[in-house]
Amino acid sequence: MKLEPRKFINSKIKEIRKEAGNKGALVATSGGVDSMVCAVLAHKALGRKAVILFIDDGLMRISDEKRVRGELKPFGIKVNIVRVADDFFKALKGKVDPEEKRKAFRNLFYRTLGKAVRKSRVECLIQGTIAADIIETKGKIKTQHNILEQIGIDPKKHFGFTVVEPLREIFKYQVRKVAKELGFSPVVHQQMPFPGPGLATRVVGEVTPQKVKILRKAVEIVEEEMKRLKPFQAFAVLLNDKATGIRKGKRLFGNIIAIRSVESNDAMTASITKIPWPILEKIRERIIKEIPEVVKVVYDITPKPPSTIEYI
Ligand code: XMP
């Protein structure tokens, strides 16, 4: 699809008014470019009838909540915070299979939104599903958290709301153009993708608050040190295996962090970033120094395919 950002924005504002007009709509934004664009489109289309949420599910990055509030403020958007981290850790407890984890996340995510929809007295959810999410879920590669109708789940019947997906026909690089046209800063329109299920996609095996705490710090370090290389996506992953290491002169069977950085346009295929050695070493040095539970750092050099970008 050839994209003209201004025309696209105007047509989507009309579409949102038509679909959600009278009753208003809810948008949950994680801070990623897709959901941030949806929040502003909804706000432009519906004004105060657009309710914008940030779901604190315990799986977001350190600064996401603050960043979402700050980036949406200039648009006149107030963000409501929903604190449900305990519920998400409970839903993920004991789950190690990646698809089981994804489905547990998805079901609680939409149940949480169902409650918010009822509380806000709206009937519609606007979400930032993009073309790649639909293609990969329908292709049975993985269950992206935000795909429902396309795989036969009726959101009205299961969760009590209808869904509008203004970005369903476009890819990430096109969403960035729309975000720029809407007036977002490069911090938003050039930011790396961050998956809806958040850090749950980067903990291999069971997701626990303790593991997320370790990973969150590692992700922050990788993002900070990789910023100047501007990769498509760079992050840390907490592996399920452990390795013997030495900490304070004593044996420690500790955690392993994998660093992943890829280049891509549409996230459908990806090559690896050839990270200069000094940057890799700096990342390793910081992870080892700042996260005592970690004894090994590895760099993943696998393109997509055969790997996917995230680990689950
Ligand atoms: P994969 O891991 O499938 O990821 O190669 C492709 C792109 O999609 C992101 N991703 C997700 N985004 N919900 C999302 O909103 C999800 O469930 C999800 N899973 C993966 C991933 O970060 C990459 O940019």
- Taking the centre of ligand 1 as the mean of its atom positions, its distance from the CA of residue 142, in whole angstroms, is 9
d(CA 113, CA 35): 14
The set of protein residues with a Cβ atom below 6 angstroms from ligand 1 is: 133, 136, 142, 144-146, 193, 195-197, 201, 233, 267, 304, 308-310
- Domains plus CATH for the chain? 5-188 (3.40.50.620), 203-299 (3.30.300.10)
Residue 245 is predicted with a pLDDT of 97
The pLDDT of residue 21 is above 80 = no
Residue 136 is predicted with a pLDDT of 83
**Could you tell me the CA-to-CA distances from 89 to 61, 82, 84, 145, 247 in Å, in that order?**
15, 15, 9, 16, 29
Report residue 146's pLDDT band, with 50, 70 and 90 as the boundaries. Answer: confident
What is the rounded average pLDDT for all residues in the chain?
95
Average pLDDT over residues 56-62: 96
Average pLDDT over residues 130-148: 86
Average pLDDT over residues 129-133: 92
- Taking the centre of ligand 1 as the mean of its atom positions, its distance from the CA of residue 308, in whole angstroms, is 9
Report residue 144's pLDDT band, with 50, 70 and 90 as the boundaries. Answer: confident
- Taking the centre of ligand 1 as the mean of its atom positions, its distance from the CA of residue 225, in whole angstroms, is 22
- Taking the centre of ligand 1 as the mean of its atom positions, its distance from the CA of residue 22, in whole angstroms, is 33
Nearest alpha carbon, ligand 1 atom 17: 144
Atom nearest to 194 CA in ligand 1: 22
Q: Say if CB 141 and CB 41 are below 8 A apart.
A: no
Minimal CA–CA distance to 270: which of 235, 233, 303?
303
The per-residue pLDDT for range 219-265, each reduced to its tens digit, is: 999 999 999 999 999 999 999 999 999 999 999 999 999 999 999 99
How large a percentage of the chain has pLDDT more than 70? Answer: 100
Give the DSSP letter string of 238-261.
Answer: EEEEEEEEEETTEEEEEEEEEEEE
d(CA 254, CA 245): 6
d(CA 81, CA 88): 15
